[in-house]
Amino acid sequence: MDVPIRDERRATGLRWPFVPWALPFWYLGLAVGWWRASIQDLRLGVHAGATVSSLALVLALAGKLTGWLIESTFYHSFWKARGRRLPFWRFFCVVASASIADLFAHAIAASVHRSPSHGPWLAWVAGAQLARGPAWLSTPALRAMLGTMGVLTVVRLSITAWAQRAALGLAFARALAWTALFWLMSRVALFFAVDLTSGMSPLPKG
C-alpha cells in the first residue's frame, strides 16, 4: 500500500529540494540552461555561420528529459524489486537537479575551446575529454565512455547516492557503490553502442 503524499516525506526522508511552488521555475531554469548548452554542442557539429535548427534543439532537450526519466525509472524499479520504496518524482527532481554538474562541465569545456591555453587541470574537473591528446581516448567509443569522467561527475553521482541514502536509509558508501556500478554499466553500454554505430564492434560478426 502506497504511503500517502502528506506522510511520504516523513516515511522516506527524501524531501523536495525546493518548496513545491518553486519547482516549475526551477525546471524552467534547468531547461534554459540545457537549451544553451545544446546550442553550444550543436554548433560544434555545423559549419561556421550556420544556424542551429529549432528541431535539433527540441530533440536534444527531449533526449535529456528522456534520460532523466529512464534513470529515475531504473533506480525506482531496482529498489522496488528489492522491497524498498524510492519516491519516483522526488528522485526525478534530484536527478534533474544533479545535472547542474554537467552544465558546469559544459561551461568549462566551452571555455577551454575558446582559450586552449587554460590549464590541463580542468580535465580533472570537467572531464578527461579536455585532456590534450591522451592516447587512451583516441577512439570515439572510449571518449564517449570515459570522456566525461572528472570531479563534476563524482559530484553528480554523490548527489544521486545521497538521495538514495536519504530515501532508503542506506549507508552513504553503499548507495554510492551501487550508483557508481550503475554508472559504469551505462558507460560500458554506451561504449558498445558507439562502437557498433561506427562499424568497429569487437563483437563477432555473422
pLDDT digits (tens, 9 = 90+) for 40-81: 777 765 554 556 677 878 888 899 999 999 999 999 999 999
Q: Is 132 exposed, middle or buried (0-12, 13-18, 19+ CB in 10 A)?
A: exposed
pLDDT digits (tens, 9 = 90+) for 112-158: 777 766 767 777 888 777 776 656 566 666 666 776 788 999 999 99
Distance CA 116, CA 108 (A): 11
Distance CA 70, CA 155 (A): 20
Q: Supply 61's cell numbers.
A: 532537450
The pLDDT assigned to 201 comes to 47
The pLDDT assigned to 2 comes to 38
What percent of the chain shows pLDDT beyond 90? Answer: 41
Backbone angles phi, psi at 158, to 5 degrees: -65, -40
Amino acid at 172: F
Report which of residues 59 and 110 the model is more confident about. Answer: 59
The pLDDT assigned to 198 comes to 65
The residue-averaged pLDDT of 4-15 equals 49
Distance CA 1, CA 92 (A): 21
Residue 110 has pLDDT above 70, yes or no: yes
Q: What is the helix, strand, coil percentage profile of the chain, to 5?
A: 70, 0, 30
The dihedral over CA atoms of 180, 182, 184, 189, expressed in degrees to the nearest 10, equals: -170
Asked whether the beta carbons of 29 and 35 are under 8 A apart, the reply is no
pTM (two decimals): 0.79
Distance CA 200, CA 203 (A): 9
Residue 7 has pLDDT above 50, yes or no: no
- DSSP secondary structure string for all residues of 41-54: HHHTTS-TTPPPPH
Distance CA 175, CA 165 (A): 6
